[in-house]
Amino acid sequence: MAKQRKKKTTAQTPWAQSKAKKLLKDDIITGRVTVDMMPADVFVMRPEFAEYGKSRFGPNLRNLQKAIARDYNRMSKDCEYFGNDMSVLLEQRKDNPPIKRSWHTSEAKTLLQEDIDNGVHLSIDPETGTKIEPKAIYQLRPEYREFSLKVFRNHIYQEVKRREKMESKH
């Protein structure tokens, strides 16, 4: 009759889901545990490792180190591929005109509405003594200059007209 082995571990949780494995993984990733360290030296670093016994700790350590190395290699390759894809994309974008930004979802629209609420469009230009021109309002904020002056000017007129219509309805 073959002799049955007694389990040497007192662990309730399997190694794969254990806190000990998570701690060991963190220690490897952060460099606290290095490849050249002996399993016996690593084993005594944390009391959580003792729950799983010394006999399987060495193989568990080496397997985890190999898995992390594979993950790092995969991550490096992914970064390399991503960089290549980005360079191809940037090269293609050189040949195509940029996508026009949407006024309706822009910060410029919100800021223009605030400026009109505050009467900026009705201000008097101190140099000329006349009502401020759309071009002067255009220069007030960098968000406005994300759009052409023509587009911006049209939106000033459109917003003022919209408000005038709203007032006439009331």
pLDDT tens per residue, range 77-127 = 999 999 999 998 888 877 776 667 889 899 999 999 999 999 888 888 788
List the domain boundaries for the chain.
15-95, 103-169
d(CA 99, CA 20): 51
Separation in Å, CA 35 to CA 68, 112, 149: 11, 60, 62
pLDDT of residue 124: 83
Question: Is pLDDT of 11 > 80?
Answer: no
pLDDT of residue 10: 63
Residues 150/144, Cβ–Cβ less than 8 Å: no
Non-local (6+) Cβ contacts of 155 within 8 A are 103, 109, 112, 147
**Range in 4-13, 36-45, 129-138 the model is least confident about:** 4-13
User: What 3-state DSSP class applies to 124?
Assistant: strand
pLDDT of residue 125: 79
CA dihedral sign of residues 59, 65, 67, 69: negative
Non-local (6+) Cβ contacts of 25 within 8 A are 64, 68
d(CA 126, CA 159): 24
Question: Is pLDDT of 138 > 70?
Answer: yes
Write out pLDDT tens, residues 24-65: 999 999 999 999 999 999 999 999 999 999 999 999 999 999
pLDDT of residue 7: 52
